[in-house]
Chains A and B, each alone.
Chain A
Amino acid sequence: MKRTLIVFLFSFSVVSAQNGGTIESRYGIGELDLMSTARQRALGTVTSAVPTASDLSLTNPASWTSVSELRLQGGFSLEHIAVSRSDASITNSAIKGFQFVMPIEESWRLRLGTALLPVSRSSYKTLTEGSVEGEQYTGTYQGSGGVSLFRAGLAIEPLPHVKVGAAYQYFFGTIEQDWELQFENGLYFPSRQTRATRHSGSGLVLGLLYDGIRDFALGVSIQPAAELSASRNLLLQYSTEDSILSGTSGTQDMPMLLHVGASWQMTEKLLLAAEYSMQDWTDATVFDRKQNVLGSSYKVGVGAEWYPYKDELGYRTLGRTAFRLGFYMNQPYLSVSDEATSEYFITTGIGFPIFASNRGDIALEYGWRGAESDLLGSQSIIRATFSISVGESWFVRKRD
């Protein structure tokens, strides 16, 4: 456990390497995170109705009641995007956050959960060339940062098979946009301007999980609309070594986010699941202004999980190894030139025991979006997600 914790803390350094997305992450609050662990991604990003004792849902706090011991889960992803309009490709990595759930009381399955999760990420770098009366220069536009959340809440099973959960969420994060002009003529001073938008605010997440119908589970989670405080500063760097900062304050709307999912334990070894989620950004305002490029986002996913050697004699490790397959269609909230670009993914993955009650999960996704006629052309995406879940029997009274 100690070594794993050290590795988790060490992996924060990877945060500094988070860069390399597309220019589309410039809009809104950036590219929204789908809030899925590796297992859930492999299941077609089904998150709200597939509870297990080792995999924590990042969208439905009611699923925390499935946890039997103290559990810490975290992960990261690697992504490669090939853009048809460019010879270059984009490779990036991102920490997918950490969740911690602790059993408090057994009769009501009361659980305490906290999490630190990415909500969005703005990461892009593009350039253009220009000239002013014969002096050539290169203009670079770069974005970084994003919004994250800290979550703390409780889950309980007030009635048999009825689980509810609620958590307070604090949103925070800064999104920076950089403009840099670099001249070919060394006598010209380069210019650098940075616009930083800082977000902060509170919200809630509510979840419900019902598994009273035999072999079926239904899950619903909702994050009510929230309004974040935002402050925006423009920093200009001068040759005189001073800088000017000008700022404004406003708000950033976070529309309601809804997840509705269901799962069916078809056989002892096979689980099927499906989910629909949506978030309507059409009327969302930023600093009292609507961003016309934002629309309604939704996602539909299906997946299957199979334990081929479950409970079979002689397969101690393989018996706890799962194979997964899924598919999902995601409609992002950004529509450029009045056209929303959907993305489609085929997902697969594996889950395996590490030792004791610890588990690791790997998910691989292949997706595509856009068309040749689009501004960015068509894009193909390969993504790998890794999660690790560590369980410890702290604070759990062992029965003789």
Chain B
Amino acid sequence: MRIFIFPLIVLSILLTACQNEPDPTGIGLIPEGDLVDARRFDSVRDSGTVRSSTAFVEVTGETSPALSVGEAEGYRARSLIRWFTIADTIGQGGRIVSATMRLHTAPYHIGDASTPLTIEVREVKSFWSSFTLTSDSLDALDIATEPSGSVTAALGDDDSIDIAIDTALVRSWLVKLDSGLFYENYGVLIEAPGGGGIRAFQSAEGSQPPELTIVIETASGLDTIRGGTIEDTYVATGPDVTGESGITVHGALATRGKLFFDISGIPPASIINHVSLSVTIDRSRTTDHYSGRDSVLVYQNFDSTTAETLGTAVLTRVDGDNPDRLLAEGTMLLRAVQTWVNGKGNHGLVLSHVGEASDIDRMTFFGAEADSTRRPRLVVTYTSKP
């Protein structure tokens, strides 16, 4: 019996050796040098150096849900489309009665939407890829001088347009497909010259992609075949905004903003608890022809000579107190500033348009040269070290 008393005592100690909740008793005994607290660095209040600029970047439109076509307000947009498969291998067989390309509108336009738009379709005779096509490479393509089809119409937001395509062109597609030379089917260029405005149509990524309908007369009567796999893209050009004041993020062209904050006011290797970035929209130089979202994506920049968007982005939100101010906060920003404070290279931040691949829109923010109420602001909360 006695030999079990000791283990029982030990067990009771295991149960009773408990951690009490801490309270402030004795905090006054902590030496002053060992007290830690949370502090704030504010790029505006602490007069930290801020630099801002706008940089041009080549972007491609292969993921754009909209194909923009037309000319307006200094912008020009052209689209390309081709069908890799057409639901038949008729080749030279039958007689092509008609070939029609139908495009469904997207609710975006630049200029007066009620103005009729003349859309032309031309054969593309040299290779292109939606993943690499830019305005320079588009200008270098071999494109037929005469259109293979055209139509003039005024289009609403939920509309479609049918463009009759030269049956000889369509026949050449069918022959190449039958011969296995689908990669030599370079499709057509769609444009609307004349400054009548820019319209957006749904692309292969949209809910109503472009349609190709071919009516063929064979020995057994009329047959309808349709286009299958689509590759499409668009290219837009416009005014050069990189030399303007402030920061301009522009979709489609495109341009991105670059921001740099000097955070040397934060003691090296401090633990960063929170970061918030705020930028103020210059409404006078901002457009909302397309989706018009009041947001930008913020990335950490890993090379100050470029404006690459690498890693995870933070999406800004509108400041509830000021609809012209966008706020960004999140893990990416926290980690970006932490790497700067830890001496791993401060290359600043990159801002990009949310619809960079699809929206011919610009959003301009006040830059580092603006007054303190509107210039970009970085607020960092960090913990002092003992």
A137 proximity list for chain B (CB < 8 A): 38
Segment from A119-127, A221-229, A270-278, A320-328 that makes contact with B: A119-127
A130-B38, A181-B36 are known contacts. Are A135 and B27 too (CB-CB below 8 A)?
A: no
Contact B26 A376 (CB under 8 A): yes
Contact A133 B6 (CB under 8 A): no
Closest to B39 in A: A132
Residue from B17, B36, B274 in contact with A188 in the complex, judged by beta carbons closer than 8 Å? B274
Interface assignment of A380: CB less than 8 Å from any CB of chain B: no
Interface assignment of B114: CB less than 8 Å from any CB of chain A: no
A125-B22, A189-B273 are known contacts. Are A388 and B27 too (CB-CB below 8 A)?
A: no
B139 proximity list for chain A (CB < 8 A): none
Interface assignment of A191: CB less than 8 Å from any CB of chain B: yes
Closest to B3 in A: A3
Interface assignment of A11: CB less than 8 Å from any CB of chain B: yes
Residue from A135, A183, A193 in contact with B36 in the complex, judged by beta carbons closer than 8 Å? A193
B28 proximity list for chain A (CB < 8 A): 375
Interface assignment of A91: CB less than 8 Å from any CB of chain B: yes
Interface assignment of A236: CB less than 8 Å from any CB of chain B: yes
Segment from A79-87, A249-257, A296-304, A308-316 that makes contact with B: A79-87
Interface assignment of A26: CB less than 8 Å from any CB of chain B: yes
Interface assignment of A53: CB less than 8 Å from any CB of chain B: no
Contact A4 B6 (CB under 8 A): yes
B381 proximity list for chain A (CB < 8 A): 132, 135, 188
In residues 1-25 of chain B, which contact A (Cβ within 8 Å)? 2-3, 5-7, 9-10, 13-14, 16-25
Count chain A CB atoms within 10 A of each CB in B10, B30, B271, B334 and give the residue with the most. Answer: B271
B9 proximity list for chain A (CB < 8 A): 386
The total of Cβ contacts below 8 Å across the A-B interface reads 172
B269 proximity list for chain A (CB < 8 A): 236, 244, 246
A248 proximity list for chain B (CB < 8 A): none
Interface assignment of B386: CB less than 8 Å from any CB of chain A: yes
**What interface size band does chain A fall in?**
35 or more
B383 proximity list for chain A (CB < 8 A): 179, 181, 191, 193
Chain A at the B interface: mostly helix, strand, loop or mixed?
strand
Interface assignment of A233: CB less than 8 Å from any CB of chain B: no
In the bound complex, how far is the Cα of B353 from the Cα of A361, in angstroms? 78
Q: Nearest Cβ in chain B — how far from A130, in angstroms?
A: 5
Interface assignment of A231: CB less than 8 Å from any CB of chain B: no
Interface assignment of B283: CB less than 8 Å from any CB of chain A: no
Q: Nearest Cβ in chain B — how far from A127, in angstroms?
A: 5
Contact B342 A238 (CB under 8 A): yes
Q: Nearest Cβ in chain B — how far from A111, in angstroms?
A: 25
Contact A126 B40 (CB under 8 A): no
Count chain B CB atoms within 10 A of each CB in A13, A22, A137, A240 and give the residue with the most. Answer: A240
In the bound complex, how far is the Cα of B383 from the Cα of A88, in angstroms? 28
Interface assignment of A139: CB less than 8 Å from any CB of chain B: yes
In the bound complex, how far is the Cα of B178 from the Cα of A170, in angstroms? 89
Contact B273 A240 (CB under 8 A): no
Interface assignment of A391: CB less than 8 Å from any CB of chain B: no
Closest to A89 in B: B20
In the bound complex, how far is the Cα of B16 from the Cα of A78, in angstroms? 9
A191-B383, A193-B383 are known contacts. Are A376 and B331 too (CB-CB below 8 A)?
A: no
Interface assignment of B59: CB less than 8 Å from any CB of chain A: no
B18 proximity list for chain A (CB < 8 A): 17, 20, 91
Closest to A76 in B: B13
Contact A236 B385 (CB under 8 A): yes
A85 proximity list for chain B (CB < 8 A): 25
Interface assignment of A14: CB less than 8 Å from any CB of chain B: yes
B386 proximity list for chain A (CB < 8 A): 177, 179, 193, 195, 234
In the bound complex, how far is the Cα of B339 from the Cα of A89, in angstroms? 42
Interface assignment of A336: CB less than 8 Å from any CB of chain B: yes
Count chain B CB atoms within 10 A of each CB in A19, A183, A188, A191 and give the residue with the most. Answer: A191
Count chain A CB atoms within 10 A of each CB in B18, B23, B334 and give the residue with the most. Answer: B23
Q: Nearest Cβ in chain B — how far from A241, in angstroms?
A: 9
Interface assignment of A187: CB less than 8 Å from any CB of chain B: yes
Interface assignment of A342: CB less than 8 Å from any CB of chain B: no
In residues 131-152 of chain B, which contact A (Cβ within 8 Å)? none
Interface assignment of A162: CB less than 8 Å from any CB of chain B: no
B329 proximity list for chain A (CB < 8 A): 187
In the bound complex, how far is the Cα of B23 from the Cα of A191, in angstroms? 19
Closest to A16 in B: B17
Interface assignment of A7: CB less than 8 Å from any CB of chain B: yes
Contact B29 A191 (CB under 8 A): no
In residues 378-400 of chain A, which contact B (Cβ within 8 Å)? 386, 388
Closest to B12 in A: A78
In the bound complex, how far is the Cα of B23 from the Cα of A89, in angstroms? 10
In the bound complex, how far is the Cα of B271 from the Cα of A360, in angstroms? 52
In the bound complex, how far is the Cα of B315 from the Cα of A365, in angstroms? 63
Q: Nearest Cβ in chain A — how far from B327, in angstroms?
A: 11
B20 proximity list for chain A (CB < 8 A): 20, 88-91, 125
Interface assignment of A140: CB less than 8 Å from any CB of chain B: yes
Contact A78 B27 (CB under 8 A): no
Contact A20 B19 (CB under 8 A): yes
A125-B22, A141-B30, A238-B272 are known contacts. Are A181 and B385 too (CB-CB below 8 A)?
A: no
Contact flags (1/0) for A1-26 with B, using CB distance below 8 Å?
00110010011011001111011101
Which 3 residue pairs of A and B lie closest in terms of their CB atoms, listed nearest first? A23-B26, A17-B17, A86-B25
Known contacts A7-B6, A78-B16, then 5 further A-B pairs from the complex at CB < 8 Å, ordered by chain A residue: A14-B14, A141-B30, A239-B338, A360-B5, A376-B29
Can you name 6 A-B residue pairings with CB atoms under 8 Å?
A24-B26, A91-B20, A93-B16, A132-B37, A179-B34, A239-B331
- On A, residues with C-beta under 8 Å from B are 3-4, 7, 10-11, 13-14, 17-20, 22-24, 26, 76, 78, 83, 85-93, 124-130, 132-133, 135, 137, 139-142, 177, 179, 181, 183, 185, 187-193, 195, 234, 236-240, 242, 244, 246, 336, 354-355, 360, 375-376, 386, 388
- On B, residues with C-beta under 8 Å from A are 2-3, 5-7, 9-10, 13-14, 16-30, 34, 36-40, 269, 271-274, 329, 331, 334-335, 338-339, 342, 381, 383, 385-386
